[in-house]
Amino acid sequence: METFEQFVAAINSHDPEALGRLMAADHVFVDGLGNRVQGSLAMKAGWANYFALCPDYWLRVDTRLESNGTVLAAGEAGGTIDRQAWRIPAAWKAMILDGKVTEWRVFADNKPVYDILGKRLGSS
């Protein structure tokens, strides 16, 4: 699905503006802990903040299944936070309608990221 590929490319390019154009106005983002962000404007800001935290964040999709506007994908995600590299297996569910991503759901154990952020909080 072209929209899914464009969304992943925008993430890998660290481009919140492109992500904003690809999200439906009522877009929903759900992270691996079930935390939700509603609305494309809020999530565009969320992506910008995440790219500031992890400027080399990347996704690699190894497997993708598509059916009726739903894409299920699996691969890896990674990046560097506070000069510490991390890499985790991950999966994503994208709901796409009329060329816009209405939902982006992440399935991943982000413990390596939380460990890095915990060190940041512990050192302040």
Question: CATH number of the domain that 47 lies in?
Answer: 3.10.450.50
Alpha-carbon distance of 40 to 52, in angstroms, equals 18
Tens-place pLDDT, residues 79-121: 999 999 999 999 999 999 999 999 999 999 888 888 888 887 7
The model carries a pTM of 0.92
- Percentage of the chain exceeding pLDDT 70: 98
pLDDT higher than 70, residue 124: no
What's the structural domain count of the chain?
1
C-alpha to C-alpha distance for 54 and 52, rounded to whole angstroms:
6
- What DSSP designation does 111 have? H
The pLDDT tens digits of the residues spanning 22-48 come to 999 999 999 999 999 999 999 999 999
18-25: long-range contacts (C-beta < 8 A, 24 or more apart)?
19/43, 19/44, 19/47, 20/44, 22/100, 22/101, 23/100, 23/101, 23/104, 24/97, 24/98, 24/100, 24/101, 24/102
Range(s) of the domain holding residue 103: 2-122
